[in-house]
Chains A and B, each alone.
Chain A
Amino acid sequence: MSVLVVAEHHGGKWHKMSWDTLVAGQTVAALLKTELSALILGAQIEPLAAELATHRVDRVFVAEHELLSEYSSDGYTIAIQQVIGRVSPDLILFPHSYFVRDYGPKLAARLNRSFLNDVIDINVKENCIRFTRQLFQGKINADVTFSDDLPHFISIQSGAYRGDTLEPTGNFAPVEKIDVTIDPTDIRTRYGEWFRESKSKVDLSSAEIIVSVGRGIKDPKHIPIAKGLAEALGGELAASRPVCDNGWLPLERQVGSSGQTVSPKLYLAIGISGAIQHVVGMKGAEKIAAINQDAGAPIFEIADYGIIGDLFEVVPALTEAILAIKED
């Protein structure tokens, strides 16, 4: 068994999920008592490759090509396919990034393999590898095994392994260049510049207290209930995706994988079920309190404090209680 981690960067800047995935790779390579390699793709990426080589890997592969200077699903698929052909890894770990969601399953299918995404844990028992992932919006866990041939393709959920504590060592792993051949006509899509719809004026990442509303708020006319609580606490108001999609709060207040990532002292989730896409944006909070009428809501898996009840009754009561304490 050999393990390969595919690291991701955007224009020379690391995607932080690369480090989470690298730690996952280190963990599984240790379990399997095998070597760990890392792959980086792009153009002019020697500095990144050198940095990668100091982070507890046995080998770094570099696939450089002008046509990899920007991401394309076709370019990445072709390049990684060629790398796999050269180095024959048995287990390939990707960060569960938007790019990987865009090319990972395509790459696996091209090699007639399935792809397992959003893995949160990997276990090895009697040479059988079990991967844990979440189903039903985080309500259920499942242990999954592959029944198709090697290599296995998996992506690691953000934060499932903690890459933020990973320190460089003094050792340099060997860096090996791999030539890849890509023809300009192979790339069928043309990608424009990145842009933001509006300059975000709200920086939730520095907020100490966040009151966040989800689907459970049901109607925009109820937003003031949450706003009242946020004001009583002296915190910022935020929301999960469906609330912003409906236009009940502006996009700049959205927390989650497509919005902001926050780590306040208190995150108070109101009527938020706790789908994976939301949780990755807020699980770094010091304390999490959740108010939800569904006792099975996954938000309670990560909550320090919970109230199972009707938010339309509980939230106004909580606002009053907090104002009373503050007056004392």
Chain B
Amino acid sequence: MSTTTYHLIGTRPPRHDGADKVTGRALYGADLKLAGTLHGAILRSPHAHARIVSIDTKAASQHPACRAVVTAEDFPETPDRIVDLGEGDTPLSYIRGNMLARRKTLYQGHAVAAVAATSPQAAAEIAALIQVVYEPLPCVLTAPAAMAKGAPLLHGDLRCTEFGQPTTEASNVADHFRQVMGDSEKGFAEADVIVEREFTTSTVHQGYIEPHTATALWNNDGRLLIWCSTQGSFVVRDTVACMLDLPVSRVRVTPMEIGGGFGGKVPVYVEPVAALLSKKSGQPVKITMTRREVLEGSGPTPGSFIRVKIGAKQDGTLVAAQAYLAYEAGAYPGAMVAPAATCVFAAYDIANQTIDGYDVVVNKPSTAPYRAPGATNAAFATETVLDEIAEKLKLDPLALRLKNASKEGTRRADGAKFRRIGCVEVLETMKAHPHYTAPLGEPSHAEAKRGRGVAVGFWMNAGLPSSCTLNVHADGSVGLIEGSTDIGGSRTSIAMMAAEVLGLQADDMRPSVVDTDTIGYTGVTGGSRTTFATGWAAYEAAQDVVKQMKERAAKLWKVDEVHFADGVFSAGEHRLSFKELAARVGEVGAPVVGRASINAKGPGGSFAGAIVDVEVDVETGKTSILRFTCVQDAGKAIHPSYVEGQMQGGSVQGIGWALNEEYFMSPEGRMMNASFLDYRMPTALDVPMIDTAIVEVPNPVHPYGVRGVGEANIVSPPAAIANAIHAATGCRMRHLPMNPPSVLAAIQQC
């Protein structure tokens, strides 16, 4: 556990953007207003699967308020190629096809054409004037249906990659891989208890409150300027440049304040379309999605079909595990089933494992990451099967987990070996937590039953490049320039890490998130990497500042060597605080500008566990969350308030996923609940206080021991709640969401 003492790290200073965000002054994407801005609107497919026979834009173009109309034909005709835009290798044609449909629409809400007009109201009216003739095709909405023989095919040219080898068979399965460790047949033969269960989970959305929005200006000097709400300004730059066949130097992306993302604002949707409209109209164009468009036209996270089989010895030793993971990618391949495979048994040291993963296209929106993408579905299966094994073996569920917990050196089925991790410490903290042994209390009415459940989850976190520049000002304050969109207070935690090096306070730092021209390449705010990687870059930049400041002091004092400790530069009797020296830098040299760019490796995964008490109304099937505790290994909590905030937020998203959130699709592939009224995310009244316990097992590679904390916390809640429902009712839940009708059905059947 962490023992180092710091002057600033681990404290809770006010965030730098706090005042702007409580006064309404902070500028989010939709708040930007350039002179002469036109408003864009997108026409979307009413069909889940259809051939586009024709698009007639004449009536729209002739409307007096119309300034531009675009369709897929307006994208440059560059040959298809494989590109990596921050989320792995993808054919350009898929990214382009999702932006504006070409020849076929693959989901209801698929963008088909767009217009720019003089007002948002006019734009919506004009988009509706575009005449599209569709030839509707049969649709497939789930992975098993899409994998069935004779299923309608989404992509005529998609060939399944089987075990890394291309095949010739047209299929909705883009990829089937298998990870094998040991011999699971043999392992199961040695098992005293084997539990094998099937699970299904519905498509869910990240549910960020701010809709996607972008303003693009194709400037008269040929440069394309974009202001938008994104988790990764460089991903937007690179994607737009790729789409429009421009060198990246011609595109500048300014990330505005962002109203939530959770992975959903990694992909790019409206920016290239706004750019095309701006090019055609010669004016800046803003496109802001409606909530319906966000739900129907942006990327939710995959629904899935999962089979998990685990074998254990009588003493609780897990001897074999097998997983079949079929994940719905939505319209284009990329269902994040590989991370699911990495996470499905990651918490346990199981010698014999076989994991099959299937990346399956279906007629639903092209999926996007959502907080530990893939892992939550998988943990729902693994952690409820383990609960069943614990029940059969009459073992305490945490004791069973602790007995088999992954440690430093444990090998996963994907071949990787864990470095120092905090799985055991998280489980021990859960076991020792007062919540775990507290009385459940009396049910609130005669038809209510209570139960407690636990589960753990893992997410490996990401590294990726980050850059940071520090400008030392004469008053000793430091301007910190970085490129990581700040979704949850990261500019402050990053600034704290630089300030820790410099012996400064958080208030001495002036952090800014800037555009793609002004800072070196920085990866997305995603993968729980921002505090880890950009914070590391800030640490290195601060070391650069210290080095330069020492040189200035050496010159000033005419000495060879200068020491720096606790914010004070010294040499012999000479002593100057950071601020004092900053004021005198000009006497002996150039201004001090520290900089660093890193390609961070070794993010060190994070484990998180949940303890939850529920009350189930057995007459209605409704589950209420009575008490919830989230335990997570942060490595080191830089700003504990915002670490807790991640844990609490992820937990409540997990509760929503567990209980009520889902894409409710009609048989024709229409989303029937595309509003915040019927896509039921938790309100303040649906959850209790979320207790947190931060575990600190330092990440050995990071200067402050940081592990990312943004994601692992969402992984365990659905499984923990399922286990709690079982404890209350005796019924096992194997479908998400566990909404009242499905819980009641389970009660009536079990």
Partners in one complex: no
Q: Which residues of A contact B (CB under 8 A)?
A: none
